[in-house]
Structure 1
Amino acid sequence: MEKNLYIDASHPNETRVVLKSEENIEDYEYESKKNILVRNNIYLGKVSRVEPSLQAAFVDIGRERHGFLAFNDIQPDYYQIPQGDIRDLKQKEEELREKLKEESKKLEENNSLSALDEDFRNDKNGFNNTDVINTEELNPPNIELNPINKEIDRDVNEIVNIEKKFDKPRQSFGSKRYKIQEVIKPNQIILVQVLKDERGKKGAALSTFISLAGKYTILMPNTP
């Protein structure tokens, strides 16, 4: 699908950007002197207040409205807890990261095996060519034609179940064990990145999981 980006800078006090695909507008943004976009900007902010009912904190980043920082977007390095507990949390992060890598590798291997099996069955020299190969000799009684399919299905189902178990890894690192009022305190200095710009009366959405996009790589320090 072809996409086009249109930038209108004809107005001296406002710049408009539209992302269009065929007959649909995918995204629209504008920036004016009164509304400067700050998404992806990084700020050294200060926690102004903690809201236990929301399990979130409001952070002063130097703008008119304070940013909103959800508990799930706070990495354990900022928790004001004993160092031993922080080490335990980081160890759990590393263990979960290794499990995800192993399951991802296993899924890739099974996908490759399934594709190879499909290619072989559809190939002109494969089992489907009954003119070349006597299927009765290849399929004696009580022997499955293609037992590898059941094995592949079983492995894929296991991997899908594991992926569902770890689909929200950040939440398992600390948000279920601690409450935000126990680990984050007012006036605490914290490094944050803007995820969403301010909308209406709402402040910007923030995260401590920093992401720096480069030409070939994306640097994500302290990100699980």
Structure 2
Amino acid sequence: MKTKIITLLILISAFHFLTGQRLIFKDKNLQKAVTENFDLNKDGSINQFEADRIENLFLAGKGITSAEDLHYFKNAKMIVMDDNNIANMSLKNMDYLQLFSCTGCKIISFKAENLKKITSLYLDNNRIENISLKSIPLINQLTVSLNKIKAIDLSSLKSLKNLNLEHNQIQKLDISQNPNLQTLNIKENPLKKTDIRKGNQDVTIFGFHYY
């Protein structure tokens, strides 16, 4: 009996230690913004217990320069980070994330990987030159207008319905592997009709008349 009580006390202590640990943030502006809204115990910091309860993060215009700390918020469903200054953005292994927006953030390189539930991704008005999208099977809305993208691989985005590539530098585009695509905006790209490889889908293309 005594052994069981001791074991229980150890487990309780371990639980409080793990949930009570303060998270160490690389970006202090992100830390400040999160602490202001989600510091449940009012100790001036965020611990993992508090981070796990966050589902919606609104971090627009907070002076954030790094997104590395987002991995702490593994249960987040919506993250909005518009109007920050993040040159390199990498999102991965966020199992519950459904919507992510980072418009006007001066992003140069963007990578999304293993986002099982994301359906909407907004990356307009950045400086993106390199973009990698892998293992995001449910995405149906992708907007990356006003960037510097020259090439984009869409072959794994089987659920994609709406795609906005307006004002980029794309010269060739393959949408033959996107059977659910309904609308495509390719205005202000150096594309001709013959530069788009199209499948059997009935897609409306904005930017020129496709015959």
TM-score normalised according to structure 1 size: 0.19
Larger Rg: 1
Task: Tell me: higher relative CO, structure 1 or 2? Use CA pairs within 8 A at least 6 residues apart.
Answer: 1
Q: Which has the higher strand share?
A: 1
TM-score normalised according to structure 2 size: 0.19
